[in-house]
Structure 1
Amino acid sequence: MSDSLRNKVVVITGASSGIGRSIALESASRGATVVLLARRLDKLEEIAAEARELSASAAFAVKADLSLASDIEAAFAEVKEKVKRIDYLVNAAGFGKFEEFMEADMQDATEMFQVDVLGLMYMTRLFGRLMLDQGSGQIINFGSMAGKVPTTKSAAYSAAKAAVIQFSNVLRLELKPFGVKVMTVNPGPVYTNFFNIADASGQYVKNVQAFMLDPDDVAWEVVHYFGSNKRELNLPVSLAALAKLYNLFPGIGDKLSLEFASRK
């Protein structure tokens, strides 16, 4: 517990559960004013109340469906009415679905890109402009180890997360001269309700227990790097090492992915 984020404003998408919720509460525990965005307003209100108790600062709940441009624009306008500045934008909203691509419903892929990529990009564009006007701020975009290491049954999801990673890499270069930082967070599997949709059978979660992360631990790591110049946060260390190995030795990487990371 500290006041390291006192008088700072943190906007978090996907804040109603999982990593987004954990980042909201971790930020609040350090004194931040948090603005929580997600589709479930009732859940957001509960988390906002908990955040206020932790921070003794304001906490706001804003309903937004990131698959809808109109919702993003309305949420942005509402946030601007509630706070005077934005210090950190955490784009944590997203979902995935694991299935063989040739058997997949292309509507699922469309919806994944709409939320995980285009919704994130639109949020970044709107709030990033405020940061440019301020001359400061940090954008934290959630990619995934899936965007760095290919695994079976995740073609569309991996493509979406790879898009987020490269988008963030380019954005980092464009915004650096203006004092706005960009960090990408690439976690492996995390104990969240993400897998309620992504892995309805439960088989993948069962097979990757050794790599599973706690959302509170991920949140601590992310908030720890608020304000830093860190480019990427890759978790856990074992999968981060696999990602480096894959870039150096893609043939070996394919074999290791099939043996250890493609257990869906």
Structure 2
Amino acid sequence: MDFCNKVVVITGASSGIGASAAILFANQSAKVVLVGRNETGLNEVATKCEQAKGQKPLIIKAELSIDEDVKKIIDNTIEVFGRIDVLVNNAGVGIRGGIRDGVELYDRAMNTNMRPAYLLTSLAVPYLINSKGNVVNVSSVAGMRPIRDVDFLPYCISKAALDQFTRCLAMELGPQGVRVNSVNPGGTKTAFVENAGFSKAQMEELYDARDKTLPLRKMTQSDEVADLILYLASDRARSITGSIYVIDNGEMWM
């Protein structure tokens, strides 16, 4: 899969799935735009991307809950590269809580996991139409079934919304030649669990339980999810749109 001269914008690119995807695209000759809040992490990923094929990535430090920062992502990308071929909406956070914990958690989940993807995609659409490009949203199996181990109601709702966004957008943009798909990981070994408020001990306990109980007896690695993102963004998937691709070691069927 060759992405030579194609511009790929990836949010949440400083670590985890976003970082793995960025490095993988760079290895396929893409011009990568790294978006995130952690400047140190972004610089580390940029170094690995540049080492792949000698193409220096564009780093954009942005807070996606701030509309001006979201607009800056598109403006800076067009100023430097002049086009957008692929948008990977990967940024998101795990938010724990149930219905009795207040509506603020719902607002935070939607404002972090759904609204920025909606706004950023809307701003990228004219350029994606010009390039006949595509969007890959990184969602979760939590959008398709509840998480059993702990209350994650706001997070699950936000990911369900992102899945429907994928389907509706695919219908809207298909006639203009723009594809939209989603990758929905199950438990993945990234910083997600810690960022959601678990201690390291709790995280290790959760990982150990998943390794013992998932049908494939293992958790997903971020580079495996990145492989699927790359495939859906490539011309090999040129007839695929509006699809939700689960990668979860069988977790959905437990």
| Structure 1 counterpart of 2:147 | 151
CA–CA separation in structure 1 for the residues paired with 2:207 and 2:117: 26
Q: Which residue of 200, 206, 209 corresponds with 1:207?
A: 209
1:105 CA displacement: 4.9
CA–CA separation in structure 2 for the residues paired with 1:182 and 1:67: 22
| Structure 2 counterpart of 1:236 | 248
1:238 CA displacement: 1.3
CA–CA separation in structure 2 for the residues paired with 1:148 and 1:215: 20
Matches within 5 A, 1:105-184: 105-132=102-129, 134-152=130-148, 153-184=151-182
Name the count of aligned residue pairs: 238
Change (3 A) 1:188 1:41: same
Q: Which residue of 47, 50, 54 corresponds with 2:48?
A: 50
**Superposition TM-score, scaled by structure 2 size:** 0.88
Equivalent pair of 2:85/2:131 in contact (CA under 8 Å): no
Q: Counterpart of 1:89 in 2: which secondary structure?
A: strand
Q: Counterpart of 1:165 in 2: which secondary structure?
A: helix
CA–CA separation in structure 2 for the residues paired with 1:74 and 1:211: 39
List per-residue Cα deviations over 1:4-51 (Å, max 9, x = no partner).
111111100000000000000010111111000001223212211210
Matches within 5 A, 1:66-77: 66-77=64-75
Equivalent pair of 1:65/1:71 in contact (CA under 8 Å): yes
Matches within 5 A, 1:65-104: 65-102=63-100, 104=101
CA–CA separation in structure 1 for the residues paired with 2:209 and 2:43: 35
1:166 CA displacement: 0.3
List per-residue Cα deviations over 1:80-103 (Å, max 9, x = no partner).
11111111100000001233432x
CA–CA separation in structure 2 for the residues paired with 1:197 and 1:99: 14
1:213 CA displacement: 0.6
CA–CA separation in structure 2 for the residues paired with 1:197 and 1:101: 21
Equivalent pair of 2:140/2:159 in contact (CA under 8 Å): yes
CA–CA separation in structure 2 for the residues paired with 1:191 and 1:101: 27
1:211 CA displacement: 5.0
CA–CA separation in structure 1 for the residues paired with 2:94 and 2:64: 14
CA–CA separation in structure 2 for the residues paired with 1:207 and 1:136: 43
Q: Which residue of 220, 226, 243 corresponds with 2:227?
A: 220
List per-residue Cα deviations over 1:136-177 (Å, max 9, x = no partner).
001001111000012341111110000000011000000000
Equivalent pair of 2:4/2:30 in contact (CA under 8 Å): yes
Unaligned stretches of 5+ residues in structure 1? 243-259
Change (3 A) 1:116 1:46: same
List per-residue Cα deviations over 1:231-261 (Å, max 9, x = no partner).
2221125135x2xxxxxxxxxxxxxxxxx5x
CA–CA separation in structure 2 for the residues paired with 1:16 and 1:51: 12
Q: Counterpart of 2:9 in 1: which secondary structure?
A: strand
| Structure 1 counterpart of 2:12 | 14
CA–CA separation in structure 2 for the residues paired with 1:45 and 1:68: 22
RMSD (Å) for aligned C-alpha atoms:
1.7
Q: Counterpart of 1:208 in 2: which secondary structure?
A: helix
Moved over 4 A (4+): none
Equivalent pair of 1:26/1:220 in contact (CA under 8 Å): yes
Q: Percent identity?
A: 30
Change (3 A) 1:211 1:163: farther
